[in-house]
Amino acid sequence: MLSDDEAWIAAGLCLARGAPLDAEGATRAAAWVAAAAAEDLRGPPAGVVADLGAALTDPRVDLGAASRAPPALMRALAEYEAALLGRLLTDPHRPALRDALAGLAPPARPAALAVITHFLVERLGLTAPGPRAASARALARRPGAEILAMGRAALADDPGLRADLVARYADLSRAARRTRPLLSAAEVETLRHFEALRGAGDRHALAQVAACAERLEVALPRRPPPRATPAGHAPDALADADTFPMGGYAALSTRGGLESLVPSELAYLEPGAPIDPFKVRWAQGELLHYSRDESVHHRPRRRLALVLAADLHGARVMDPGGAAQRLIWALATAVAGARAWVRWLGDHELEVRVRIERPAEGDPLAGERRLLALLLDARRDVVQVDDARTPFAADVVVRIGAAPSSTHAGPQLAVIERDAAAWIDAARELLTAAI
């Protein structure tokens, strides 16, 4: 005998639109729903969780193969497909999410999918309660074929359940039409580092930093700001990482050695002839040779540092309209800045240090340092995160602190009360000033 929650889940799984569920698919989707119920007390219909799982595990999802449902439900499902599911399948973040989920160990994937479901519920602003976690776990222990049979029976026999599902799907569609976008870089970064994160607190902090960093990166220029070369500048061995010729042969000339001789000149050779045209052309300097491009390319060396002051541990406050704590904005500025510098100075021999200062006693920002190391791990060949205790001779040092420093000569940003728009403007000015 199914409980009300189990019947609600089983019926919802029968409405999955990604593809008709077989027994194996129902077992897998029931495990996803159980993990989602343990993550969040709110929840969309179980079919939505199954669709999200299919979108992130199957590169091809065929909506045309979806199972049929009663007419009222079919109308609600059609709106859901247009407002939410279709957009999820075409979201630009979906391939990265699918790759990140595939990179996790199989036992961790249901919990990771539950976290993505939680992010989606938060973004849509859903408030309707989901099934109890105990009921979801009980249903997940049943065979897949039994789950589908009980779900179809519940849909056919319970008009109240059908009406509830129609209302849930209608609310979901309305919320999706109001929400832009559905997925973001926060979900991608969370899945990439899911196994390294220590619980919900770390996931929430990393997601906030990733979301703010994404907003900052969109506001930063795609190309580096113009930078005038000082008058009389002459490259030297310390300022340049390397010097090498630009290319190979660039033109034809009548000067050069045998190694650069144009091969067609050998057609003038007439061995044994009284007068050899080849020797005549050589004597008169008329043989054609390839000439090299002698211009030289200098690859400059740049070393940049972005320092987060130790006093930022007191910046765990949120301003009106700030969208996140001041500390989160400071961390996001460091992430967006390091990525932008790598993009802008891609033709340089570049080394970037993101330095979170560690006071003489204690280490209140140790967790934040670890989160930044995770977010910048993809560019660890160029960007390193440390505690500012090792020497690093930087060309430019950018500082972010709770208060301005009178001893810092380079660009700096004080973490004061600002709304999100003001933060983005201040961060853009700070990061471009370092270039």
Cβ neighbors of 240 (< 8 A, separation 6 or more) are 298, 299, 300, 301, 349
Dist CA 44 CA 309 (whole Å): 43
Which has the higher per-residue pLDDT, 315 or 225?
315
User: If DSSP codes are grouped into helix, strand and coil, which group holds residue 325?
Assistant: strand
Q: Which of 52, 37, 69, 58 is nearest to 139 (CA)?
A: 37
229 CB neighbour count, 10 Å cutoff: 6
**Residue 251's pLDDT is what?**
82
Mean pLDDT of 82-102: 94
Q: Which tens digits make up the pLDDT trace of 120-171?
A: 999 999 989 989 999 999 999 999 999 999 999 999 999 999 999 999 999 9
Q: Which tens digits make up the pLDDT trace of 241-299?
A: 555 555 667 788 888 888 889 999 988 998 888 888 898 888 888 999 988 776 666 67
Mean pLDDT of 96-118: 94
> What confidence tier does 413 reach under pLDDT thresholds 50, 70, 90?
very high
Q: Which DSSP symbol is given to 413?
A: E
Q: Which helix (H) or strand (E) holds 350?
A: strand 349-356
Q: Which DSSP symbol is given to 84?
A: I
- Whole-angstrom CA distances from 74 to 83, 86, 153 are 14, 16, 17
DSSP state letters, 115-143: HHHHHHHHHHT--SB---HHHHHHHHTS-
Dist CA 12 CA 152 (whole Å): 9
Q: Which tens digits make up the pLDDT trace of 367-386?
A: 999 999 999 998 899 999 99
Q: Which tens digits make up the pLDDT trace of 234-246?
A: 555 555 555 555 5
Q: What is the mean pLDDT of the chain?
A: 89
Q: Is residue 322 over pLDDT 90?
A: no
**Residue 42's pLDDT is what?**
85
> What confidence tier does 316 reach under pLDDT thresholds 50, 70, 90?
very high
Phi, psi of 244 (to 5 degrees): -155, 155
Half-sphere exposure of 225 (CA within 13 A, CB side): 11
**Residue 384's pLDDT is what?**
95
Q: Which tens digits make up the pLDDT trace of 336-346?
A: 999 999 999 98
